[in-house]
Chains A and B, each alone.
Chain A
Amino acid sequence: MSFEMMVSLILKSLGQTGQMVAISGLLGSLIGLPIGIFLATSGKGELFPAPMTNRIIGLIVNATRSTPFIIMVVAIIPFTRFVTGTSIGTNAAIVPLTIATIPFFARLVEAAIREIDKGLIEAARAMGATPMQIVFKVLLAEARPALMAALTMTMVSLIGYSAMVGAVGGGGLGDLGIRYGYQRFMPEMMLAVVVVLIVLVQLVQSAGDALARSFDRRNRKG
């Protein structure tokens, strides 16, 4: 295989990985965020007390997280087909990726919000804030650096997960590595894929860290 062919294959796969990670990361986070907020604020005596609902959602989240991703990909094929009209290809792969992202991100959001000093919630209540105002003006504002870190961690995990959706023809870098590097005995392709993935993860991580730092006022020095 020529070098040009290799590069063009890698670029195509990189595009597929980027598409899957970006869309499922965005959708999954958007849905996971409110779920995470709810999990962090609906315990007994908290802002939106609903301990029963909290436990049920917690159970569903745990169940989703404990299902091995590759099994979930296969198990939800009917749902995937219902949403995208097909069960194979990059678009179809976005469905299980999104569904895996939601509980993952939700738990990270929950942890980020629980980290916030309860004194701040009390202070806001003492000012006459509504629970919604507390969520938006206090919790989300204060958790911003931690939420940014959670988003970064989610994106990095998604890059890993996206390697598995080759099983349903999702394409992407992981799929390229398996099909060419492993099945066609092209160690140079495997190496190239691994290097590209390392660089990609590194870039995502650095960008996320930089954003998290820019939001963080806790250790700012004048």
Chain B
Amino acid sequence: MTIQQAATRTAPGADHSASTHTVPMVAFEGVGKRFGPAGEGGFTALADIDFTVARGSIAGIIGRSGAGKSTLIRLVNGLEKATTGKVAVDGVEVGALGEDGLRGLRRQIGMIFQHFNLLSSRTAFDNVALPLEIAGVDKAAIKAKVGPLLDLVGLGDKANRYPSELSGGQKQRVGIARALATDPKLLLSDEATSALDPETTQSILELLKRINAELGLTVLLITHEMEVVKTIASHVAVIDAGRIVESGRTFDVYANPSHETTRTLLASALNLPQWLRDSIKQVPSAGDRVLVRLVFFGDTAFKPLTGRLVAELGSDVNILAGGIEEIGGQPFGSLVVSYSADPEVVARANQFYAETGLTTEVLGYVV
């Protein structure tokens, strides 16, 4: 299949780590989490989670709010305990650790948060120093460590500023420097860009990407934004109502979403005008037009397929949105078109897709 080939050929950081290390950085095995009393009255936050994060990769977990992703990421550093199954970090089972062992593990795992969680009473420098103080590192060593970290995140000149004097993006940079202070092998990102504007989000994601590449740090992030996953994650798992409904390489999931939740999340990232998104219906009525997303990548990206589609369907094709972006390091084009939902037209179009191997997705119907 073309998708697989394309992905295998160029996906960055794909599985090169699996060959050198057999133990994944994070492994979920049949993990479930219930809150409250057993049986009635309890709440199942997570069920049957099987998921691994390869060493050195950036993996994303995407889902709507309330899907269970916050709970899931907290199982990794033991802030929450799994009710069933096991979670392992670098081969160590988190649930089997006592309080001391857990604290030791946490010092090897950095974490960044949506609302940064910086101490307002400490300067940027002292915030970054906090995990080192907690680990009992002496003052001289702390001083030697914090400066370079602030430089790394581009805040070398803001060491003596308090969080209230920093912008959201700068606060998250302090958060990242703090998370890196104890030289962790894994970085957990809990909606780290959700409180930031799109531009700042991009710069923070670039920073995470750079850290992943330069320090070889494994990153596990949770988000509700497809944009985030698309920009930096090589692998993605889609979570819905406490279950992973789809997972794989970001490129594959993006090109060929198999689950309804994934499609919805993708649709919100399509840049369709709001009025159009609002008017999409799932069931057509007479005279409606079908809204289709055409996906271009690998071989199909270079063929003049749109022109041929127009020729095939007559002048009926309407182009509504489109663009080329990079996902998992590969160029990826998508085009949203609409044409008559008349069964004969649809059949002709489907015939064309089948012949050319074009990947498509019906988004719905519009008037």
SS of A interface (majority) = helix
A124-B134, A220-B165 as given contacts; A117 in contact with B117, CB under 8 Å: yes
**Which of B104, B109, B122, B162 is the one whose CB lies under 8 Å from A126?**
B109
Nearest chain A CB to B168 CB, angstrom units: 15
Stretch at the interface among A2-10, A64-72, A137-145, A198-206: A137-145
The answer to the question of B204 belonging to the interface, with a C-beta cut-off of 8 Å to chain A, is no
Give the nearest-CB partner of A119 in chain B. Answer: B117
Q: Contact: B131 with A127, CB < 8 Å?
A: yes
Q: Contact: A126 with B79, CB < 8 Å?
A: yes
User: In the complex, which of the residues B104, B107, B117, B188 has the most CB atoms of chain A within 10 Å of its own CB atom?
Assistant: B117
Nearest chain B CB to A117 CB, angstrom units: 7
A137-B133, A142-B121, A218-B120 as given contacts; A127 in contact with B165, CB under 8 Å: no
Give the nearest-CB partner of A142 in chain B. Answer: B121
The answer to the question of A186 belonging to the interface, with a C-beta cut-off of 8 Å to chain B, is no
Q: Contact: B103 with A138, CB < 8 Å?
A: no
Stretch at the interface among A21-29, A35-43, A128-136, A165-173: A128-136
Nearest chain B CB to A213 CB, angstrom units: 13
**Which of A125, A133, A141 is the one whose CB lies under 8 Å from B106?**
A125
| In the complex, chain A residues whose CB is within 8 Å of the CB of B120 | 142, 217-218
**Which of B122, B135, B165, B188 is the one whose CB lies under 8 Å from A128?**
B135
| In the complex, chain B residues whose CB is within 8 Å of the CB of A130 | 103
Give the nearest-CB partner of B175 in chain A. Answer: A123
A133-B134, A220-B164, A222-B161 as given contacts; A127 in contact with B106, CB under 8 Å: yes
| In the complex, chain A residues whose CB is within 8 Å of the CB of B115 | 117, 119
Nearest chain A CB to B116 CB, angstrom units: 8
CA distance A126 to B117 in the complex (A): 11
Q: Contact: A127 with B182, CB < 8 Å?
A: yes
Interface size class of B (residues with CB under 8 A): 20 to 34
Q: Contact: B117 with A122, CB < 8 Å?
A: yes
The answer to the question of A75 belonging to the interface, with a C-beta cut-off of 8 Å to chain B, is no
CA distance A176 to B104 in the complex (A): 62
Q: Contact: A128 with B107, CB < 8 Å?
A: yes
Give the nearest-CB partner of A125 in chain B. Answer: B79
The answer to the question of A183 belonging to the interface, with a C-beta cut-off of 8 Å to chain B, is no
The answer to the question of B77 belonging to the interface, with a C-beta cut-off of 8 Å to chain A, is yes
| In the complex, chain B residues whose CB is within 8 Å of the CB of A133 | 134
Q: Contact: A219 with B134, CB < 8 Å?
A: no
Q: Contact: A128 with B121, CB < 8 Å?
A: no
A126-B79, A128-B103, A220-B165 as given contacts; A120 in contact with B133, CB under 8 Å: no
CA distance A48 to B85 in the complex (A): 27
Q: Contact: B131 with A128, CB < 8 Å?
A: yes
**Which of B79, B104, B111, B164 is the one whose CB lies under 8 Å from A218?**
B164
**Which of B134, B161, B188 is the one whose CB lies under 8 Å from A137?**
B134
The answer to the question of A161 belonging to the interface, with a C-beta cut-off of 8 Å to chain B, is no
Give the nearest-CB partner of A120 in chain B. Answer: B117
The answer to the question of A180 belonging to the interface, with a C-beta cut-off of 8 Å to chain B, is no
The answer to the question of B137 belonging to the interface, with a C-beta cut-off of 8 Å to chain A, is no
Give the nearest-CB partner of B103 in chain A. Answer: A128
| In the complex, chain A residues whose CB is within 8 Å of the CB of B107 | 127-128
**Which of A120, A128, A215, A221 is the one whose CB lies under 8 Å from B119?**
A120
| In the complex, chain A residues whose CB is within 8 Å of the CB of B163 | 217
**Which of A125, A142, A220 is the one whose CB lies under 8 Å from B162?**
A220
A123-B113, A218-B164 as given contacts; A137 in contact with B130, CB under 8 Å: yes
Nearest chain B CB to A47 CB, angstrom units: 12
Give the nearest-CB partner of B77 in chain A. Answer: A126
Interface 0/1 of B182-207, CB less than 8 Å to A: 10000010000000000000000000
| In the complex, chain A residues whose CB is within 8 Å of the CB of B182 | 127-128
Interface residue ranges of B126-159 to A (CB < 8 Å) = 130-131, 133-135
Nearest chain A CB to B249 CB, angstrom units: 29
| In the complex, chain A residues whose CB is within 8 Å of the CB of B109 | 126
Q: Contact: B103 with A217, CB < 8 Å?
A: no
Q: Contact: B134 with A141, CB < 8 Å?
A: no
CA distance A128 to B183 in the complex (A): 13
CA distance A71 to B102 in the complex (A): 51
Name B residues whose Cβ lies closer than 8 Å to a Cβ of A.
Answer: 77, 79, 102-107, 109, 111, 113, 115, 117, 119-122, 130-131, 133-135, 161-165, 182, 188
Name A residues whose Cβ lies closer than 8 Å to a Cβ of B.
Answer: 117, 119-120, 122-130, 133, 137-138, 141-142, 144, 215, 217-222
Interchain residue pairs A-B with the least CB separation, the first 5: A128-B106, A123-B117, A128-B103, A119-B117, A127-B131
Instruction: Apart from A127-B130, A221-B164, list 14 A-B contacts with CB within 8 A.
Output: A120-B117, A120-B119, A126-B106, A127-B134, A127-B182, A128-B104, A128-B182, A137-B133, A141-B122, A142-B120, A217-B121, A220-B164, A220-B165, A221-B165
